[in-house]
Amino acid sequence: MTTRRDRHQRGLRGPLGLPGTLGKLPLRRGRSKLARFADCVRDCVDDVSANCPAALAGIDVGFEDVPGQLPAWEDRVPLATSASGTPGHNGQLILFRRPIEHRCPTYEDLDLLVRRTIVEELSSVTGIPAYEIDPDYDPDL
């Protein structure tokens, strides 16, 4: 008696793959959403540091998946949160990846929203006008 399952003794119904190609199929591996978002944040921070290095002085920029325990949002989910620095501690700017990605149907929209969010949060923390941090900033978008 064989150990393979062949309940009605009909045998294998067809080939499992085309001859000679089963082990040669390429695996499609694109960049993950996390890697795409991290690259987007890194590019924006690099651009801001090139345009206005004073805006990032003493500010740590990072991101999390979703907001944690924050004060009541009143039915709104924040895109980012920021805190100014204290003596001995750097200020923080934290982007929330999932709410930002949820609002962006394309990668171009994601780049734009990440850039706009970083510029506006840095402007509110440092007091530097947004157009000085990013010369391409348009408040009407």
DSSP string, 14-68: S-SS-TTTGGGPPPP----HHHHHHHHHHHHHHHHHHH-GGGGTTEEEEEESS--
* CATH fold of 33-67+77-133: Zincin-like (3.30.2010)
DSSP string, 52-65: -GGGGTTEEEEEES
- Give CA–CA dist 43/71, Å, rounded: 30
* pTM for the model: 0.74
More confident: 51 or 14: 51
Give the single-character DSSP code of 89. B
Q: Is the pLDDT of residue 6 over 70?
A: no
Asked whether the beta carbons of 79 and 109 are under 8 A apart, the reply is no
pLDDT tens readout for residues 83-139:
888 888 999 999 999 999 999 999 999 999 999 999 999 999 999 999 999 998 887
> What separation in angstroms does the CA of 33 have from each of 28, 40, 106, 113, 137?
15, 10, 12, 15, 25
- Give CA–CA dist 65/100, Å, rounded: 10
Domain ranges within the chain, ordered by starting residue:
33-67+77-133
Mean of all residue pLDDT scores within the chain: 83
Contact residues for 89 (Cβ-Cβ < 8 A; gap 6+): none
- Give CA–CA dist 39/114, Å, rounded: 11
pLDDT of 16: 59
Q: How confident is the model at residue 140 (pLDDT cuts 50, 70, 90)?
A: confident
> Among residues of the chain, what percentage have pLDDT more than 70?
77
Q: Is the pLDDT of residue 21 over 60?
A: no
Q: Is the pLDDT of residue 27 over 60?
A: no
